[in-house]
């Protein structure tokens, strides 16, 4: 876990935070060393492209905004009154 502005986070890279999973490698400044950079690059290069695309697709799907945000807002408001 990492602390940012006093908040405990499992990840620091935005794609990882959004996915709540390791999508991209995180090289945290206080722990970064040349051997770690090299091994991370080797790991990424050895990872099948399809696996990387699947990871990013998961992030993109979580970020998708509907074609009609106003409709989503209206539905939310209407459904809030039913609670």
Instruction: Name the E strands within the chain.
Output: 2-4, 7-9
Q: Which residue's entry shows tokens 């998708």?
A: 64
**Residue 9, Cβ neighbours under 10 Å: how many?**
13
Chain centre distance of CA 26: 11
| Residues pairing with 82 in the sheet | none
List, for residues 15-61, the tens digit of each pLDDT value.
Answer: 988 888 889 999 888 778 999 999 999 999 999 999 889 988 888 88
**What pLDDT shows up at residue 45?**
94
Name the burial class of residue 23, with classes exposed (0-12), middle (13-18) and buried (19+) by CB atoms within 10 angstroms of its CB: buried
């Amino acid at each position: 876990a990492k602390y940012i502005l006093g908040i405990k986070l499992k990840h620091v890279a935005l794609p990882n935070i959004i996915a709540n999973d390791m999508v991209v490698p995180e090289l945290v400044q206080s722990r970064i060393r040349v051997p770690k950079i090299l091994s991370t690059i080797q790991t990424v290069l050895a990872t099948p492209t399809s696996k990387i695309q699947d990871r990013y697709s998961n992030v993109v799907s979580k970020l998708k905004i509907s074609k009609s945000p106003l409709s989503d807002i209206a539905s939310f408001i209407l459904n809030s009154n039913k609670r």
